[in-house]
Amino acid sequence: MIVVMNQEATADQIQHVQDKLKEWGFGIHFSQGVERTILGVIGQKKPGVMESIEAMDGVEKVVPILQPFKLASREFQSATSEVQVGDVVFGGPKLVVIAGPCAVESEEQMVMTAKAVKRAGATMIRGGAFKPRTSPYAFQGLEEEGLKILKQTSIEVGIPFVTEVVNPMEVEMVAEYAPMLQVGARNMQNFTLLKEIGKLKKPVILKRGLAATIDEWLMAAEYILSEGNYQVVLCERGIRTYETATRNTLDLSAVPLAKRLSHLPIIVDPSHGTGKRFLVNPLSKAAVAAGSDGLIIEVHPDPESALSDGPQSLNFNGFETLMKEITPIIYAVGRSL
């Protein structure tokens, strides 16, 4: 069960609720967000307890939650959350399209790409400055220089960006540059990183781990939420299966399933989800049809010479075609661009 204190609750009132819960033998997870204080109550349900707590001063509501993830669950909040980055809203009526290269390579590459994808209809750009590559010998990213390029591009082209943070010690530094952070698949269960991001009031995309169940993914989101950061967007990016014809198996059932279990917005990454350029267009369409709140797509001016993930990157023409072909589907599911 979760106890939500109202915004005007005093420190004494919050303490009193905690004292009572302890007296009744419950464990408490205390979460002080910017907007509200939440007490996660751990222990067996006892008759009459919910009603007693609800009657206490400063308590807004008591929510019984059966799922292991509490703050992320639909039981806790029935309406889909909206996560805002500048003018971009995840979880609202508009489909969010994020596009850009896998890795930031140069200012020229970023500005060219940002202009092209914006013209084609993207409302946000992506680009990795820290690249968690499978091989230590592969390009690792431009690091802080890459963040500077992203920020400069964003100002010049007038479009916000998202970028990955891989190290808990670098969260604050990356957040100084970026309006939205990304936790990559390989770090989905890096709980130290999740907790650091949870302490910020900064939107974050949480990618599904390579072999994570939906429950594990939502529990990872819970780590961020329970630290007080409620601006989490989930991202399905494919999971590891026995299939080798694609880089990953894009699990589109995760979209309606996660939406049923959680109020968090969810987007789909068909680039990492398939690893193959020709599959990005059809799987983007399927993701929108399945109810995804957005897409994140790798686009490069010259995929053949990309320093990472060229085989799954679209060129500008490919992205423009995708945006044209996807528009009727966006409207068919009752959304707009």
285 makes contact with ligand PEP (CB under 6 A): no
Which residues have a Cβ under 8 Å from the Cβ of 245 and sit 6 or more positions away? none
207 makes contact with ligand PEP (CB under 6 A): yes
128 makes contact with ligand PEP (CB under 6 A): yes
In whole angstroms, the minimum distance from the beta carbon of 118 to ligand PEP comes to 19
244, amino acid identity? T
In whole angstroms, the minimum distance from the beta carbon of 119 to ligand PEP comes to 22
SS (H, E, C) the chain: CEEEECCCCCHHHHHHHHHHHHHCCCEEEEEECCCCEEEEEECCCCCCHHHHHHCCCCEEEEECCCCCCCCCECCCCCCCCCEEECCEEECCCECEEEEECCECCCHHHHHHHHHHHHHHCCCEEECECCCCCCCCCCCCCCCHHHHHHHHHHHHHHCCCEEEECCCHHHHHHHHHHCCEEEECHHHCCCHHHHHHHHCCCCCEEEECCCCCCHHHHHHHHHHHHHCCCCCEEEEECCECCCCCCCCCECCCCHHHHHHHHECCCEEECHHHHHCCHHHHHHHHHHHHHCCCCEEEEEECCCHHHCCCCHHHCECHHHHHHHHHHHHHHHHHCCCEC
300 makes contact with ligand PEP (CB under 6 A): no
Question: CA 214, CA 309: separation in Å to the nearest integer?
Answer: 26
117 makes contact with ligand PEP (CB under 6 A): no
36 touches which of Mn ion, ligand PEP, none (CB within 5 to 8 A by kind)? none
Interface residues for Mn ion in 263-322 (CB under 5 A)?
A: 309
Question: CA 273, CA 295: separation in Å to the nearest integer?
Answer: 11
Residue nearest to ligand PEP (CB): 184
Which among 86-94, 95-103, 221-229, 323-331 is the span making contact with Mn ion, rule CB under 5 A?
Answer: 95-103
295 makes contact with ligand PEP (CB under 6 A): no
Among residues 202 and 207, whose Cβ is nearest to ligand PEP? 207
Among residues 222 and 309, whose Cβ is nearest to Mn ion? 309
Find the binder of ligand PEP among 83, 102, 214, 221 (CB under 6 A).
102
237 touches which of Mn ion, ligand PEP, none (CB within 5 to 8 A by kind)? ligand PEP
323 touches which of Mn ion, ligand PEP, none (CB within 5 to 8 A by kind)? none
196 makes contact with Mn ion (CB under 5 A): no
Among residues 60 and 144, whose Cβ is nearest to ligand PEP? 144
Among residues 186 and 276, whose Cβ is nearest to ligand PEP? 186
Number of residues that bind ligand PEP (CB under 6 A): 10
Interface residues for ligand PEP in 129-168 (CB under 6 A)?
A: 164
102 makes contact with Mn ion (CB under 5 A): yes
**Interacting residue ranges for Mn ion, rule: CB under 5 A:** 102, 309
**Interacting residue ranges for ligand PEP, rule: CB under 6 A:** 102, 128, 164, 184-186, 207, 237, 269, 272
